[in-house]
Every structure is written in structure tokens, then in C-alpha cells.
């Protein structure tokens, strides 16, 4: 593309003015993202010369000859419920110049429109500790959910880079956006939607999981439980299902063990380990049967803190990983 020399010179001046600015902004945004582990920072880019020229020719500069997205980046959040939190963090750290759309509860789009309308914040750099040459520089941060981000990546070339834009191609791209927006709403309002009569159903597996979850929450403090409580429930269910024990019987075993100073009072085992220890104490032969069975389709780890009954021979175990000093030493010296 042939570009007017005056606009190219203007681009080069701005580029030198912004030299190193991307690193400053990236460092500031990384600190925000690091505190929110499920978020992602797309570190952004400067306008290319060709894109810059086209935008200037289209009138895309303000009265102070600034381009609001000369440098732009994106913060990706888990779902739409996190967008307001991300926006607040950015407004606290930088000075807001403009927001598009101006309000969350008002849109120019018709209900049938699904064009690009993600949150864009045009911010100015604010010095925190020491003065810098970047004070007041304008840049853009887009806020997207992972689904919005995926759509923009997957369809960008279809919409913006194809030499032959057609109604059909854009139609397909925005049909996909409509489906993803519907999915976003479903994710954000899953608790409400789950109250729908057509979805309020149970099956035996989930009834067992609910019973197990109630048991572990009754016997263990929140600090003892893992953040992934669902996996703990599934592991327990898999174990007691192999032993043909119902949740009520497990609860009785935990109660008896706890009343004898064991069970929930054991301090050197995880909740799963405590349940295994309790089953060994109360049903040693049944535990021996499942641990010596070749039919079991999952492995069980037995750390050395678990005390095996005297009449149980671990040499006959199948699909069992015994983590004792010998194993640890072998790992250490390998």
C-alpha cells in the first residue's frame, strides 16, 4: 500500500514517543492478572503503519492528534460476571478517558444485531511511584470473556482480512457470536437456570455424590478439604462403590472411628486417606479383597502414613502405589 509521507512521518513520531510503553503497561496489567489466576493477558500490539494510515485517513484521531488504540491489549476473564471486577481494577490503576459502550445497560444495537460490542476502555497512563515520560499516554484495553476472545481470534481473518468480504461470510461469523453470547448467559445464570423444572432431575450417581459431599462437609473442616471437592467426592464414590458400601454405611464407619479418636481426628492424612484408613480399620478383609483384585479399573495410592492391619499382605496388592521411604529414596537418587 502506498502511504502519504506526512502520515508515515506522523506514525514514526508516535512510535518513538511510545517506545518502551508496551513493557510498562504489560507489567502493570500482569500484576492485575496474576492476582486473578483464571484470567489471561494478551500482551497486545502497536498499530502497524498500514493500519495506522488507514485509520488516520478515516478520521480516527482526536483533536489532540492522538490515536486512542495506537497501543492496545486485552484482558480475558473467565465469564461475564467477572467483567465489572476487571473494569474496576483498571479504573483504579489508570485514568479513564473513554468507555465504549458508554453504559452496560444501554446499546445502539437492535436485538437482531450481534456485531462487535465488547467493552473497550481507553485509558491514560498514571504514574504511581516515580514520574515517567509516559504520563498521560493514551492506550486501549479490551475486556473479553474466554468465549468472546475465542470468537475474535477464530473469526478475525474472516471479517477483517479477507479480500472478498461477502454477506454470507459475515453472516456465519455473527451467527457464531450469537450462539456464544447465549452460552455466556447460560454460564453466568447457571444457578437460576438449574431451577427450571425440565432440568431439576437427579440420578443415582448424583444422589450418591450429594450424600458423600454432605458426609465430608459434616466430618471435616473447610481447611482440611481440597479446593476441588468434586474430585474428592468422585474418588470416594469410586472406592466405596467397588466395596459395595453405601454412603450411609460410610458415615457410620467414620462416626465409629471418630468416636474412638481416629477418623476425623487423624492429622497426618488427607480426608481421602482418612477414609481409606477407616475402611482398613473397620473392614480389613473387604479392603484386602478390592486391593488384590485385578478387575479394578483405577489405582489407589497408599502413603506410608496409612497403617495396614496385621492380617493384610501388601505384596498381593494389584494397581496399588505404596509411597514409603524406599520409593521416596529411589525418586531422590534417580
Q: Which three cell numbers stand for residue 129?
A: 511511584
Domain ranges of the chain: 5-147, 204-333
CB 308 within 8 A of CB 289: no
> What does DSSP say about strands 300-303 and 320-323: parallel, antiparallel, or unpaired?
parallel
Q: Which three cell numbers stand for residue 194?
A: 438449574
- Is the pLDDT confidence value at 200 over 80? no
Angle ∠(196,201,206) on CA atoms, nearest 5: 130
Residue 158 DSSP code: I
Q: What span, in angstroms and rounded, lies between the C-alpha atoms of 248 and 216? A: 12
Can you give the pLDDT at residue 107? 66
Q: Which three cell numbers stand for residue 8?
A: 508515515
- Residue 172, SS3 per DSSP: helix
Phi-psi region of 23 (alpha: psi -120 to 50; beta: other; left: phi over 0): alpha
CB 278 within 8 A of CB 245: no
CB 178 within 8 A of CB 114: yes
Q: Summarize the confidence of residues 137-165 as an average pLDDT.
A: 84
**Which residues, including other chains, have CB under 8 Å from residue 235's CB and lie 6 or more apart?**
272
CB 123 within 8 A of CB 7: no
- Is the pLDDT confidence value at 324 over 90? no
Percent of the chain past pLDDT 90, that is, above it, reads 55
pLDDT tens digit sequence for 202-249: 788 999 999 999 999 999 999 999 988 999 999 999 999 999 999 999
The torsion defined by the Cα of 111, 116, 118 and 120, in degrees rounded to 10, comes to -130
Q: What span, in angstroms and rounded, lies between the C-alpha atoms of 80 and 198? A: 25
Q: Which of 3.10.50.30, 1.10.4160.10, 3.30.460.10, 3.40.220.10 would CATH assign to domain 5-147?
A: 3.30.460.10
Q: What is the pTM of this model?
A: 0.69
Average pLDDT, the chain: 88
The torsion defined by the Cα of 250, 251, 255 and 261, in degrees rounded to 10, comes to 50
CB 254 within 8 A of CB 273: no
Can you give the pLDDT at residue 129? 84
CB 194 within 8 A of CB 241: no
Sign of CA dihedral 231, 235, 237, 241: positive
Percent of the chain past pLDDT 70, that is, above it, reads 91
Amino acid at each position: 500500500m502506498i502511504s502519504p509521507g506526512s502520515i508515515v512521518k506522523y506514525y514514526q513520531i508516535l512510535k518513538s514517543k511510545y517506545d518502551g510503553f508496551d513493557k510498562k503497561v504489560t507489567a502493570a496489567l500482569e500484576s492485575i492478572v496474576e492476582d486473578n489466576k483464571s484470567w489471561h493477558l494478551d500482551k497486545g500490539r502497536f498499530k502497524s503503519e498500514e493500519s495506522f494510515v488507514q485509520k488516520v485517513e478515516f478520521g480516527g484521531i482526536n483533536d489532540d492528534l492522538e490515536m486512542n488504540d495506537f497501543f492496545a491489549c486485552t484482558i480475558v476473564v473467565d465469564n461475564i460476571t467477572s467483567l465489572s471486577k476487571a473494569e474496576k481494577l483498571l479504573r483504579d490503576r489508570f485514568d479513564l478517558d473513554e468507555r465504549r459502550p458508554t453504559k452496560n445497560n444501554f446499546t445502539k444495537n437492535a436485538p437482531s444485531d450481534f456485531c462487535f460490542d465488547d467493552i473497550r476502555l481507553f485509558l491514560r497512563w498514571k504514574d504511581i511511584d516515580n514520574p515517567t515520560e509516559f504520563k498521560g499516554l493514551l492506550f486501549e484495553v479490551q475486556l473479553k470473556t474466554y468465549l468472546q476472545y475465542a470468537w475474535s481470534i477464530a473469526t478475525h481473518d474472516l471479517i477483517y482480512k479477507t479480500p472478498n468480504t461477502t454477506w454470507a461470510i459475515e453472516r456465519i461469523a455473527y451467527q457464531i457470536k450469537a450462539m456464544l453470547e447465549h452460552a455466556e448467559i447460560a454460564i453466568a445464570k447457571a444457578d437460576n437456570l438449574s431451577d427450571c423444572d425440565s432440568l431439576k432431575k437427579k440420578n443415582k450417581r448424583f444422589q450418591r455424590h450429594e450424600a458423600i459431599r454432605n458426609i465430608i462437609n459434616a466430618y471435616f473442616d473447610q481447611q482440611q478439604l481440597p479446593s476441588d471437592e468434586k474430585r474428592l467426592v468422585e474418588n470416594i464414590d469410586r472406592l466405596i462403590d467397588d466395596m459395595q458400601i453405601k454412603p450411609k454405611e460410610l458415615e457410620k464407619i467414620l462416626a465409629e472411628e471418630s468416636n474412638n479418636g481416629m477418623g476425623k481426628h487423624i492429622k497426618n492424612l488427607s480426608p481421602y486417606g482418612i477414609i481409606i484408613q477407616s475402611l482398613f480399620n473397620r473392614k480389613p478383609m473387604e479392603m484386602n479383597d478390592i486391593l488384590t483384585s485385578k478387575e479394578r479399573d483405577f489405582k489407589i495410592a497408599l502413603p506410608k502414613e496409612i497403617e495396614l492391619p496385621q492380617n493384610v499382605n501388601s505384596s498381593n496388592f494389584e494397581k496399588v502405589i505404596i509411597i514409603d521411604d524406599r520409593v521416596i529414596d529411589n525418586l531422590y537418587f534417580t
